[in-house]
Structures are given as structure tokens and as C-alpha cells.
Amino acid sequence: MDSSTPFPRNSFRQIVIAAHPQVPEAFAEAQRIAEFLHRHGIEAFADYLYSEELRRRVQEKQADLLIALGGDGTMLRAGHLCAHVGVPILGINMGHFGFLIEVERRDWENALRRLLLGEAWIEERMMLEAHLCRGDDVLHRWDVVNEVVVSRGRLMRPIQVTAHVDDLLLARYVADGLIAATPTGSTAYALAAGGPILPPELRNILLVPVAPHLSVDRAVVLSEGSEVVLTVRVQHEAVVSVDGHEPVELQTDDRIHVRANKSSLKFVRFQERGYFYRNLTTYMNWNPTVEKESRVRG
């Protein structure tokens, strides 16, 4: 499946640059990028990711591109802001790990020159939408970049989650939690829980149990277009969390409906279409703890 679109030259007239407020030096770098773009005749606005003015410009489609300065967490937050209005995102790495990031900090000027020459393409990635239902009421709705996680709360006791796929029973889980992830999320929490890595162009939902207790212990990749409903049965605290956001407490028989989102993430890429596989080994062998210890010993 081809999920990429070429970028024509001179596609950008308005660009916003979003700096994560907790990333050192990100705002100063954002200002330098804005100055660079101004010199090349592009209207550019730099501010912190959560600023009302920056978010207003994106939501009112006064931006052809958002440049996100930070790490993968910044990219997730930018995705939530940009996806539903179709604004593509270019990530510049100011953090320690950037599975979603395209450009390293030292290379942004060369990357932007290539961008303005049309030497880039847009990669589209699947998102999910999730609804929390209690009886006949929909209590919450979320757009999901990485994953929906149903899990136990503070008590060290497993929860029971029943998964139905397209109205058919798939499995009953007794586990610390159950993850419903996008292909993008397959390299996040789902990977840490033992799930497979899915190529970013797929449009499948991945189900991964967390610490299963005498129940199904394998990840399942659902067919494209499937909808999954997760029903919770607990006698103690259970929660649902989306993309690491603040958890919402669940009650017995609450249902979380998960399906493909009509909106897609759009990332600007410069690397060839097979970049994901080429970079995979590098990322998988990179361990920040080991790297830090090696520097100390050296």
C-alpha cells in the first residue's frame, strides 16, 4: 500500500515552528529557524507548542506545515494538533530519542533548503479513534496516535478484558492491561510489552496483552478496517489512557470502542521510501542506559 505523496516545490507559504517548553534551547532554535525561513520569503511563526496563538493558527489552517522541535513526545502532541486539519509535520530532534523524528538538530538548515526545493514527500500514518461508553452514553472520545491502554490501577491485581472484533468474540484476557495500538504505536509501549513491529504504512490495529495471567499471551494483528470493543470487568480500580495522557477511571461493563480514524498523521520525509527498515536496527540497538554507562566507563 502506497501511503506517500510527493511534495511540489514552493508548497509552503506559512509555517509554524513549535518548541516543546520543557526541552532546553528548543525555543531559541525555533527562532533561528523562523529567521532562516523569513530570509527565504516564507512567513514563519515560532512559539511554544502549547501557546494559544500557535494552536489557533494551526486549527484555522493558517499553516501549511508545522515544524516540531523536541522528541517523540513532541511529535505525538503535534500529531494531535495537526492531524484533523491535515497539516503535515516535520520533526527536528532536540531530545534523546526520535523514532518519529526526521531531522537531527545539526542538519535542519540543509533539510529546510531541500524542503523549499521540493525534495521531500509526505508519509501518511493511520490514527485511531476511541470512545468510552457506559450504558448508552459516550463519556469520552479520543484521537489516538500511538495506543489505547486499558490497565489496572494502583492495586497489583489483574483486570478482566473481553475483546470483540467486528461483533465476534476474539478473546477474554486476564492481565495487567491490554494495548490497542496503531502501527506507529507498535514501536512504543506495545513493543515494550512484547508485541511485533508493524511497518508504518499498514492500517491494522494491534492488540497486545500486558503481563497476562493464565490467559491469551500473544499479540494479535487485526484485519484492516476492523473495529474492536474492549469490555472491562473489575472489582477494583481500572483505567484507560490514550497516548500516555491522564488516565480515566473505568467501571465494570464499561466499553472502549476502537477503530481507524478518518484523519491521518502526515509526516514530512526526505529519506527514501524504505527508510523504516534501514533505521530499524539502529534504533533497536540503541539503549540510552547502556550508552550512558559506556560514556562513564570511557
Residues labelled catalytic = 72
Of 124, 119, 123, give the one whose Cα is nearest residue 11: 119
Bridge pairing between strands 228-233 and 159-165? antiparallel
Task: Judge residue 34's burial from the number of C-beta atoms within 10 Å of its C-beta, 0-12 exposed, 13-18 middle, 19 or more buried.
Answer: buried
CA distance 31 to 47: 8
The dihedral sign for the CA sequence 218, 223, 225, 229: negative
CA distance 151 to 277: 31
The C-alpha cell at 195 is 508485541
DSSP run (H or E) holding 277:
helix 275-284
Question: Cα Rg for the chain, rounded, in angstroms?
Answer: 20
The C-alpha cell at 45 is 511563526
Q: Amino acid identity, residue 44? A: A
CA distance 269 to 89: 9
